[in-house]
Chain A
Amino acid sequence: MEEKNIIIFPQGIPGFEKYRHWNFVIEEEAPLGQLVSVENEYIGLVLTRPEIYFADYLTEIEKEIGLDTQEILETKENTELNVWNILCIAEDIMETTINLKAPLLINSEKSIGYQLILNQEKYESKQLLFSHQNMKENREGVTG
């Protein structure tokens, strides 16, 4: 079973500013989600939960969630925000990158989303999802 609901992005998503309504589907088996534009069903984004591959990420970005972001997301003191990051899937899955520079923050209670662009230089918009260590093991597995 999949959970399905429509999230409104009041600011749009950079590159897709005119599409404000997105269908958000969370997968159960894999840590994946999909956002598909309600206005244009040919536009979709694949998302993952960042903490699975980048352990400190959530604590690191918390300090960048400012008043401007909180206002857009209509958060209250104890609102729980869900964080998802967009994947750029490559034909060779080991080349798949994750956009850590601009996480999607979702206030599920209100169904509002916002793509926050971090000022921190340490996070990149094209970070390899699978570490080099994983990549090595995988390649060895294939040849051996």
Chain B
Amino acid sequence: MIRNIAAKVIISIIHVITGARALWEGTQPAAGKRVYYGNHASHGDFVMIWSALPPKLRPHVRPVAGADYWNKDALRRYIIHKVFRGVLIERDPAKRTEDAITTLVRAIDEGSALILFPEGTRNTEDGLLPFKSGIYHIAQQRPDVEFVPVWLDNLKRAIPKGRVLPLPLLCTARVGAPVVIKGGEGKDEFLSRARTALLDLADENDPARLAENGDAK
């Protein structure tokens, strides 16, 4: 009860600040084995993807988050465990009791979809960082999982890392066509295909895409 209210409050805060417009361009919301992955710039990111989903699906979609950050105080613990039912991953390998991929695959087997950010950390620069290999390992163990790219536009500007006061800029979540691993596809191949699928959703003039083309030259 309180959990639902807390979720509604957090979602409406994100709505008021950002407009939270969701465009399902490459696929439709659906239950099933899915991993939503996006570019990571702010703490509003997973809320934005979460609120883009129809309310009925939300309880079955769990954000993957860093344990070190979210276990820091009681409020964060409440939000991540009770409100969003996050799957926490210990980022420091020394503190891990279980392999991160095992944890994630178990959550998928239990019937949850995941939200994760393969860049691994909140990115404050213009470009899209190289992807960590986690999504590849998930795909390898569960080849029928659909990886759905979600490009989050403007959240970096609206809720900048390290700033207390957000800016009321309009943000959009663009949901693209799912990427599924092909038989025999290698790690680099799969990661670069997933990364391109995400970047392709960004606006042509987006700094991330411009940075990418600059690197290519």
The reply to whether chain A is a binding partner of chain B is no
Which residues does B use to contact A, with CB under 8 Å?
A: none
